[in-house]
Amino acid sequence: MVCLGNICRSPIAEGILKSKIEKHGLPWTVDSAGTSSWHSGEQPDNRAIAITKKYGVDITYQKARQFSPYDFEKFDRIYAMDAGNYRDILRLALTDDEKQKVEMILNESFPGMNKQVPDPYWNDNGFDEVYKMLDEACEAVVKKYAVNV
């Protein structure tokens, strides 16, 4: 899960997907990162923590980090929150196989539409909408890749 600063959208997505895979007992590894290093080492934004807590998901343990080319080796799927992050991730890909791992997260719930998750950082009221969008997309990820769910 990748956004710009790794303090709003991607930590929410990480927390949601982790809660779903835990519920279904899936042996997946989920992480999040930002394309920038601005907030490296910081906890998610307090509003992101509050919205996930509202829905029973704890993200207080997360720490922001910058996306790395090593992530292409470590992960099978890399989900970008918006077109800018998608382009920034692809710039770091060295092979076609690495590029094939990158997808816009909302394409899981709206296939082929390349919808973007709006950045709620500047809109206090946007966190609930972002949570719901990401919850739907993460549910689609589980249904798509998990067997017998």
pLDDT for 62-89, tens place per residue?
A: 999 999 999 999 999 999 999 999 999 9
Query: All domains of the chain, ordered by start, with CATH?
Result: 2-141 (3.40.50.2300)
Query: Is residue 3 annotated as a catalytic residue, yes or no?
Result: yes
Give the active site residue among 31, 82, 119, 135.
119
119 carries an active-site annotation: yes
- b/e code 108-130 from CB counts within 10 Å (16+ = b): bbeeeeebbbebbbeeeebbeeb
145 DSSP 8-state letter: H
- Mean pLDDT over 41-61 rounds to 98
What percent of the chain has pLDDT above 90?
95
Q: What tens digit of pLDDT does each residue of 11-21 get?
A: 999 999 999 99
Query: Which pLDDT band holds residue 149 (cuts at 50, 70, 90)?
Result: low
Across the range 1-30, mean pLDDT stands at 97
Alpha-carbon gap, residue 130 to 133, rounded angstroms? 5
- Choice among 8, 9, 82, 135 that is catalytic: 9
pTM: 0.96
Position 147 scores a pLDDT of 76
